[in-house]
Amino acid sequence: MGARDFLTLEGCGRAEIREILELAAACEEGRMDGSLAGKTVCLAFFEASTRTAVSFELAARRCGADVISLSERGSSISKGESLVDTVVTLDRLGADAIVLRHPAAGAARLAARFAAAAVVNAGDGCGQHPTQALLDLYSLSRALGGFEELAGVRAAVVGDILHSRVARSVIPAFRAAGVELALVAPRTLLPLEAEVWGLPVLSSVDEALGWGASVLYMLRLQRERMTGARVPSVSEYARYYAVGRRHLRPGVRVMHPGPVNRGVEIAGDVVLDGASLVPDQVAAGVAVRSAVLALATGVEQEVAA
Ligand code: NCD
């Protein structure tokens, strides 16, 4: 069965997303356990990660794959080996899927040009983070009672959109699922392409609630990617763009891809509140990434057949 790269959610359709989320549900029920037996999944993480790396590894193991983990330290990358040469090496060593996280936008697409193995993008710089957006939709649809319930829901994407690969995947994926979106960010944290999205731009969490948002999707202030001062101060930022207890009206749900800067994007006492889907988002990672690995390696067709 052919390898299928998994690089971006730009241009994704409703049916495609639905298919992946249904497969994720099958994975969660254990129906895909062992389906990757005999396959080799290589995790190549060249940037820090906790939940993405762990959940991909758990997903691959649960599906029965052989798992190889490579990081910058301890591999020949630290001797200056290029991304392309690293990927070609993993490919020729027999990887069926290469899960790649890299600080440069476009890295996964570049890797895919040189690998016969399926390349799964686990986050490329300010580019894309497709499995994050899928697990977000999985946990939100679970919380709402099903995929159909996503249609017409109003969600505000709040914070550092400029530096966020999560936002660049969440926006097309949520839209494809029928979610209505607004952006909430200071102009200094909005990318130029924000105009192309054609979404309303609001200037505080309060405005988002006034607009009718029942989902507040909070993004981390990515200080490691900022070259100049883009916000006057963190406390000034938090005044307009952090969600606090006072925002938790009935039915409002708070999401965040993690890691959370407590008190900056979400008040400390809200992170694990009943209104927060943050723990559910983490939990959805294993099932959704199992589904993506099954699709990437083509084994889901054998299971379905
Ligand atoms: C995000 C990432 O690394 O892109 N986290 C994640 O994968 N759960 C978001 C972030 O770092 O802010």
In the chain the domains, ranked by start, together with CATH numbers, are 14-127+285-304 (3.40.50.1370), 131-282 (3.40.50.1370)
DSSP state letter for 177: T
pTM summary value: 0.96
**Ligand 1 pocket, Cβ-based, cut-off 6 angstroms:** 51-52, 123, 129, 132, 165-166, 220, 222, 257-258
Radius of gyration of the chain (CA): 19
As given in the structure block, the two tokens for residue 33 are 């356990």
Where are the strands (E) in the chain, listed by range?
40-45, 66-71, 97-102, 118-124, 154-158, 180-184, 201-202, 215-218, 253-255
- Residue 176 sits at φ, ψ, to 5 deg, of -60, -30
Average pLDDT, the chain: 94
Q: Which residues contact 122 (CB under 8 A, 6 or more apart)?
A: 43, 45, 49, 52, 53, 56, 99, 100, 101, 129, 131
Under-70 pLDDT residues of the chain: 1-2, 227, 302-305
Mutate to test the pocket of ligand 1, among 134, 166, 260, 261 (most ligand atoms within 8 A of CB): 166
pLDDT number for residue 239: 94
What confidence tens digit (pLDDT) does each residue in 201-251 have?
999 999 999 999 999 999 999 887 776 778 888 889 999 999 999 999 999
- Find the length of the chain: 305
pLDDT of res. 303: 61
CB 35 within 8 A of CB 64: yes
Number of separate helices (H) and strands (E) present in the chain: 11, 9
Number of other CB atoms surrounding residue 199 within 10 Å: 16
Name the amino acid, one letter, at 215: V
Atom of ligand 1 nearest to the CA of 160: 12
Mutate to test the pocket of ligand 1, among 54, 135, 220, 281 (most ligand atoms within 8 A of CB): 220
What's the Cα-to-Cα distance from 70 to each of 63, 67, 82, 111, rounded to whole Å? Answer: 19, 10, 14, 15
Q: What's residue 72's pLDDT?
A: 74
The per-residue pLDDT for 1 is 44
C-alpha 85/C-alpha 94 separation (Å) is 14
